[in-house]
Chains A and B, each alone.
Chain A
């Protein structure tokens, strides 16, 4: 089963490089703190306004840090001139996609947990009841973002103005995921059970399946150099 081993090798390598260099993690942690303060200054005072806007603000934080994390997916390959090495590795390239996807997911979930924790503390929101449902929505939403994000990161890795092109390509495609997650989060924070947002969850699952399938099938084509 060298496919799984190759995917794991890529994921392990990315996380090892990240653990040692901590470049992306530091940037994301600092970024979420910054986000928190900005929202605190602009919204902190008024409880009602905050409650109404919180889901949007929370997911805005998740999406912006996702863009940062996903945009850097192939940065380590580009900086260390290893891109051609990936291209020339024989065998199915989608193993590399899965490795990169796993690495991205791990990174994004760590940052999201942090952002969620910070928001809960600083905006003193009682997450208690909503948490289990929220975890499901965050996981499905993050998978949707990362699935297409990793594919588009590979496409824009060697392109001029990639920092601009990557969000412009990714965000419109992710509108369904953004709508579903924000609306589901809104309902959950209002105390509704997960079942009440069943249709959004179904849409997220459908989106994740479509995104993963098309990414796995086309990643070879993207990584042809």
Chain B
């Protein structure tokens, strides 16, 4: 099953790549550098999915103390942090030619950076506690608190940015809605979600093997 998911993910990533670099039109104002959007936006949206899955799995673990749920949370956190980290990196690579600087306190990049640090803390907590059962419990609580914090982070960062200077026109990740842009974006989004699912599946299988080896 996991292997099939792997091939499916690989195929859709390849398709996404072709569409992003070939099929999608050359953006009028930004030029081809805008094609970074087709990997930057899916990475961030997939990481949001990862953090939602993490919170739900944490809740399931707390209610049913089901180790499998904890493993899903752990795997989802790991892949989520990687994706959001890559999202930030690609965002700043995109920002350099567009705004002339690697980093701007743009609302979206800021809130994504905060998520990155918050869930990096989740992985740090996971790594610090030896006793697996206690680590699972504490990480479940942190997973839920962090997820509930995401909307608060978004509101506060947006008000902090938009109430003073108008949102910059060429903001990376701005959705110019023409369909020729939307299709490649959608395909790439599905590709990265499948990739996320594939990585989580393999990581969960590995975590289960590690747990069984000890029991």
- Do the two chains touch directly in the complex (Cβ atoms below 8 Å apart)? yes
Chain B residues within an 8 Å CB radius of A165: 121, 124-125, 128
Chain A residues within an 8 Å CB radius of B125: 155, 159, 165, 169
Contact A218 to B159, CB < 8 A, known contacts A159-B128, A173-B118: no
Contact of A222 among B114, B141, B160 (CB under 8 A): B141
Contact of A218 with B129 in the complex, beta carbons under 8 Å: no
Smallest beta-carbon distance B90→chain A, Å: 21
Query: Is B103 interfacial (CB-CB < 8 Å)?
Result: no
CA distance A203 to B156 in the complex (A): 8
Query: Is A133 interfacial (CB-CB < 8 Å)?
Result: no
Interface of A is mostly: helix
Chain A residues within an 8 Å CB radius of B156: 175-176, 179-180, 203
- In the complex, the chain B residue whose C-beta lies closest to that of A183 is B160
CA distance A214 to B118 in the complex (A): 17
Smallest beta-carbon distance A147→chain B, Å: 10
Query: Is B145 interfacial (CB-CB < 8 Å)?
Result: yes
CA distance A54 to B215 in the complex (A): 56
Chain B residues within an 8 Å CB radius of A7: none
Query: Is A210 interfacial (CB-CB < 8 Å)?
Result: yes
CA distance A168 to B121 in the complex (A): 6
Chain B residues within an 8 Å CB radius of A148: 145
Interface of B is mostly: helix
Number of interchain pairs (Cβ within 8 Å): 75
- In the complex, the chain B residue whose C-beta lies closest to that of A200 is B159
B107-138 vs A: 1/0 string, CB under 8 Å?
Answer: 00000001001100100110011000010011
Contact A172 to B160, CB < 8 A, known contacts A148-B145, A221-B141: no
- In the complex, the chain B residue whose C-beta lies closest to that of A167 is B121
CA distance A222 to B155 in the complex (A): 29
- In the complex, the chain A residue whose C-beta lies closest to that of B139 is A155
B150-164 vs A: 1/0 string, CB under 8 Å?
Answer: 001101110110000
Query: Is B82 interfacial (CB-CB < 8 Å)?
Result: no
Query: Is B181 interfacial (CB-CB < 8 Å)?
Result: no
CA distance A183 to B144 in the complex (A): 27
Contact of A168 with B124 in the complex, beta carbons under 8 Å: yes
CA distance A179 to B129 in the complex (A): 31
Chain B residues within an 8 Å CB radius of A203: 152, 155-156, 159
Supply 14 further A-B pairs (C-beta < 8 A) apart from A155-B125, A176-B156, A224-B137: A159-B129, A160-B128, A172-B117, A173-B145, A175-B157, A176-B149, A176-B155, A179-B156, A179-B160, A180-B156, A183-B159, A203-B159, A207-B152, A221-B141
